[in-house]
């Protein structure tokens, strides 16, 4: 069903095919008919692309010939301080409307003014197809750069213009107002660069921040403009008649252009959009504002020039302090006004305090910086324990909205001030077990009264060579003990060495005793000991019991065969002396001493004998 309907539709819409011969005939007849049509009357019109320009800019004058071509046009001409130069044309157009064919040619002149003023381009005359045609005269306004547009000017014929609007024409000195600045430029143009405010004369105003807004499109007359809004903060800084404006703005626009000479090769049919970059300087109007002085009556005593609408908030801390401790006083003034000019009012009643210069910071909540909060921070320190409170803080301002003065006040703040000697320890250190342990301390703990152990700055112990060297002492002590232990073990496992040392000790002690016996002239004890020492030393050397040693071993024992003969002779002599003493015991002390010396020498030689 659907296919049938679609099939019928396309069947009905099918264009009947013409045979080639029939088509050629129809075309020939059409040309013939057009040639036989009655000739339309030629016309000549001129137009300017705009009627107001700034000196330094150019306008385009278009000459439009309909129904024929002009016989001759001058390449350039000068008309009352306007220079016209032919830059384009002819551009030939043909339009067929309702079967009526119209053709026209357009020529373009660039109009360059040589001075500012009102100019009239007179009626132009041209010969077209034997007819003499005359155009209408045109008016062109040329303004000085920075000058405002002519009052009541036809804005919809301008490429760009600016407008300044004030909220009121009556202000108070010190009052901050917001002016609206608008820049308009035609929608068919484009901004090539960001517009720049090149001048904002404001006699008697302090120009504050400028905040831009979002661009919108507005219709003015028959034209559509892009509107770039901005707000300017203005503060009246004197009384009398104040002037503001003209605010001048410089902007560069890309405007449509009819000049296609350079693009003939790439765009022979004029299909592309052609623009040219032009600089414009637009200016707003000038306004007079009456700035009134602040009323004198009912002026608060502490009024210091604040104009606007404000609120006051004051905080102070800590409030439980010692004499001399700092208290941070924060005075916040919030609202709308000129915050840069806002100053902390002079306060009274601060006799018992040391005041430090306040600091301030402004936090604004709007782009113009006229709404927000200004916070003054002042350090004050009580000088005596008699201080009981922070004095009242007050702030006065003039509100231009209701034309009245207002005074805001923060009541006095109670303080607990301790004398320096009786400072209670804050809970964090005074009583760790109390319930206030988790409380946030309000201040640092007080200073320490005692200097404590004094030391001089020095590097840490681990970096001091003496400390590091001292650590070798236990190691050396251990090593000494270890070596001693090894020697003791070695001695315990070597009986011969042990006997050697024991005999050496016995000999040392025995020689001393011999000298005593000699001094005491005790020959019996002397020789008995001498004989024993000989036995012990020989027994140790010969590795045999001392009791078994007699004089005979000197000749018989193989170990003594390698001993020096003198030593052996001395040994024999000593043995013989011992034997003789048994029979002739009486001897003098001198003889005994010489015997003891001989024994000492002989035993020393004997110790050298290899066992």
Partner 1 sequence: MNVHFTKLTASREKRRRAAAFQNAGAFVMAPALREASWTAPALWRFGIVFLALIFAGNIFAADVVADFSAANKFYAEGKFADAANAYEKILQTGAQSPALLFNDANAEFKSGHLGKAIAAYRQAEQLAPRDAELRANLAFVRNQVQGASARERFWQNWLGTLTLNEGAILTAVLFWLTFGLFAARQVRPALAPKLKGVTRIFVALTLGSAIVLGVQTANYFSSATAVVTADNVTARSGPFDDAQNAFTARDGAELSILDRREGWVQVADGAGKSGWLPAKQVAVVPGA
Q: How far is the CB of 482 from partner 1 (least distance, A)?
A: 5
C-beta closer to partner 1: residue 229 or 326: 326
- Nearer CB in complex with partner 1: 218/470: 470
Choice from 325, 338, 536, 540 touching partner 1 (CB under 8 A): 325
x-or-dash pattern for partner 1, window 483-522, by CB under 8 A? -xx-------------------------------------
Contacting partner 1 within 326-345 (CB under 8 A): 326
Number of residues that bind partner 1 (CB under 8 A): 46
Q: Which of 420, 491, 520, 611 binds partner 1 (CB under 8 A)?
A: 420
Nearer to partner 1, 36 or 462 (CB): 462
Min separation Cβ 363 and partner 1, Å = 15
Place of tokens 């890309």: 254
Q: Which is nearer to partner 1, 13 or 448 (CB)?
A: 448
Residue choice 121, 233, 381, 546 for contact with partner 1 (CB under 8 A): 381
Q: Which is nearer to partner 1, 97 or 451 (CB)?
A: 451
Quick one: CA torsion of 51, 54, 58, 64, rounded to 10 degrees? 0
Least distance from partner 1 to the Cβ atom of residue 433, Å: 13
Report residue 23: phi and psi, to 5°. -65, -40
For partner 1, the binding residues in 34-93 under the rule CB under 8 A are none
CB of 354 to partner 1, least distance (A): 7
Instruction: Supply angle C-alpha 199, 202, 206, rounded to 5.
Output: 110
Number of other CB atoms surrounding residue 594 within 10 Å: 12
Kindly indicate which of the ranges 8-16, 278-286, 420-428, 588-596 contains the residues binding partner 1, using the contact rule CB under 8 A: 420-428
Dist. CA 254–CA 252, nearest whole Å: 7
In the complex with partner 1, the residue whose CB is nearer, 430 or 611, is 430
Q: In the complex with partner 1, which residue's Cβ is closer, 324 or 564?
A: 324
Between 295 and 424, name the residue whose CB sits nearer to partner 1: 424
Q: Which residues contact 386 (CB under 8 A, 6 or more apart)?
A: 352, 417
Q: Of 188, 194, 193, nearest to 230 (Cα)?
A: 194
Pick between residue 243 and residue 423 the one whose CB is nearest to partner 1.
423
Q: What's the closest the beta carbon of residue 351 comes to partner 1, in angstroms?
A: 15
| Rounded Cα–Cα distance for residues 288 and 308 (Å) | 22
358 makes contact with partner 1 (CB under 8 A): no
Q: Terminal CA-to-CA distance of the chain, rounded, Å?
A: 143
DSSP string, 327-392: EEEEEEEEEEE-STT--PPP----TTEEEPPPEEEEEESSTTS-EEEEEEEEEEEE-STT--EEPP
Residues 183-242 that bind partner 1 (CB under 8 A): none
Q: What is the smallest separation between the CB atom of 449 and partner 1, expressed in angstroms?
A: 6
β-pairing, 138-143 vs 52-54, is parallel
Determine, following the binding rule CB under 8 A, whether residue 428 of this chain makes contact with partner 1: yes
Rounded to the nearest 10°, the torsion over CA 158, 164, 170, 171 is -170
Residue 9 engages partner 1 in binding (rule: CB under 8 A): no
Nearest-approach distance from CB 448 to partner 1, in angstroms: 4
Binders of partner 1 among residues 430 to 489 (CB under 8 A) are 432, 441, 443-457, 460-462, 467, 470-471, 473-475, 477-478, 480-482, 484-485
Which of the 8 DSSP states describes residue 77? E
Q: Which is nearer to partner 1, 268 or 474 (CB)?
A: 474
Nearer to partner 1, 26 or 475 (CB): 475
Task: Please identify, using beta-carbon distances, which residue of 55 and 379 lies nearer to partner 1.
Answer: 379
CB closer to partner 1 out of 242 and 417: 417
Distances (CA, A) of 210 to 63, 220, 233, 381: 45, 25, 7, 42
Determine the Cα–Cα distance for residues 150 and 574; give it in Å rounded to an integer: 155
Which among 11-19, 193-201, 426-434, 537-545 is the span making contact with partner 1, rule CB under 8 A? 426-434
Query: How far apart, in whole angstroms, are the C-alpha atoms of residue 138 and residue 143?
Result: 16
Which positions ≥6 away from 516 have C-beta within 8 Å?
none
Strand partners, 374: 333, 362
Q: CA of 138: how far to CAs of 90, 122, 160, 195, 263, in Å?
A: 21, 7, 21, 31, 30
Angstrom CA distances, 292 to 175, 240, 297, 400, stand at 10, 6, 14, 10
Backbone CA torsion sign across 61, 65, 69, 70: negative
The smaller minimum CB distance to partner 1, of residues 384 and 579, is found at 384
Smallest gap from Cβ 441 to partner 1, in A, equals: 5
3-class secondary structure, 517: helix
| Of 430, 428, 444, 412, residue with least CA distance to 324 | 444
Alpha helices in 543-588 (DSSP H): 553-556, 565-583
Kindly list the residues in this chain that would bind partner 1 in the complex (CB under 8 A): 323-326, 354, 379, 381, 383, 420-421, 426, 428-429, 432, 441, 443-457, 460-462, 467, 470-471, 473-475, 477-478, 480-482, 484-485
């Amino acid at each position: 069903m659907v296919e049938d309907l679609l099939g019928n539709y396309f069947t009905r819409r099918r264009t009947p095919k013409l045979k080639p011969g029939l088509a050629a005939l129809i075309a020939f007849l059409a040309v013939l008919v057009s040639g036989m049509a009655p000739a339309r009357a030629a016309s000549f019109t001129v137009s300017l692309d705009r009627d107001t320009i700034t000196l330094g800019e150019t306008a385009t004058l278009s000459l439009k010939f309909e129904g024929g071509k002009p016989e001759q046009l001058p390449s350039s001409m000068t008309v009352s301080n306007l220079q016209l130069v032919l830059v384009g044309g002819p551009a030939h157009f043909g339009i067929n409307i309702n079967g009526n064919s119209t053709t026209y040619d357009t020529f373009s002149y660039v109009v360059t003014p040589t001075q500012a003023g009102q100019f009239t381009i007179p009626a132009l005359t041209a010969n077209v197809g034997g007819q003499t045609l005359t155009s209408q005269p045109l008016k062109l306004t040329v303004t000085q750069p920075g000058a405002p547009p002519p009052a009541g000017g036809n804005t919809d014929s301008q490429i760009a213009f600016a407008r300044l609007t004030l909220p009121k024409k009556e202000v108070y000195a010190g009052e901050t107002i917001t002016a609206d600045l608008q820049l308009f430029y035609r929608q068919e143009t484009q901004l090539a660069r960001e517009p720049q405010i090149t001048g904002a004369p404001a006699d008697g105003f302090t120009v504050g921040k400028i905040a831009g807004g979002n661009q919108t499109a507005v219709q003015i007359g028959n034209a559509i403009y892009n509107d770039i809004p901005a707000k300017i903060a203005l503060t009246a800084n004197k009384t009398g008649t104040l002037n503001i404006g003209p605010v001048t703005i410089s902007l560069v626009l890309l405007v449509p252009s009819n000049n296609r000479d350079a693009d003939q090769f790439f765009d022979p049919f004029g299909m592309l959009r052609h623009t040219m970059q032009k600089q414009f300087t637009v200016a707003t109007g000038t306004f007079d504002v009456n700035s009134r002085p602040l009323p004198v009556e009912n002026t608060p005593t502490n009024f210091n020039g604040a104009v606007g609408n404000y609120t006051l908030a004051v905080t102070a801390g800590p409030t439980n302090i010692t004499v001399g401790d700092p208290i941070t006083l924060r005075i916040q003034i919030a609202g709308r006004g000129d915050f840069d000019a806002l100053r902390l009012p002079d306060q009274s009643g601060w006799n018992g305090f040391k005041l430090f210069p306040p600091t301030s910071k402004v936090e604004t909540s709007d782009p113009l910086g006229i709404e927000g909060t200004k916070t003054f921070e002042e350090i004050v320190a009580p000088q005596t324990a008699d201080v009981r409170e922070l004095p009242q803080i007050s702030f006065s301002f003039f509100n231009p909205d209701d034309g009245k003065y207002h005074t805001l006040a923060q009541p006095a703040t109670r303080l607990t001030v301790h004398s320096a000697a009786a400072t209670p320890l804050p809970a964090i250190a005074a009583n760790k077990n109390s319930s206030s342990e988790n409380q946030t301390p309000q201040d640092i703990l007080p200073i320490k009264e005692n200097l404590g152990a004094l030391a001089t700055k020095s590097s840490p112990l681990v970096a001091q060579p003496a400390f590091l060297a001292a650590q070798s002492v236990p190691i050396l002590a251990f090593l000494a003990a270890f070596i001693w232990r090894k020697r003791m073990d070695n001695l315990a496992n070597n009986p011969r060495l042990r006997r050697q040392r024991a005999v050496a000790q016995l000999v040392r002690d025995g020689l001393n005793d011999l000298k005593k016996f000699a001094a005491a002239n005790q020959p019996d004890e002397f020789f008995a000991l001498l004989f024993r020492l000989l036995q012990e030393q020989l027994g140790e050397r010969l590795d045999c019991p001392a009791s078994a040693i007699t004089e005979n071993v000197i000749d018989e024992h193989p170990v003594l065969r390698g001993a020096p003969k003198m030593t052996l002779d001395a040994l024999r002599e000593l043995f013989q002396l011992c034997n003789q003493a048994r029979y002739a015991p009486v001897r003098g002390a001198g003889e005994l001493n010489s015997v003891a010396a001989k024994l000492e020498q002989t035993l020393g030689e004997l110790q050298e004998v290899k066992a």
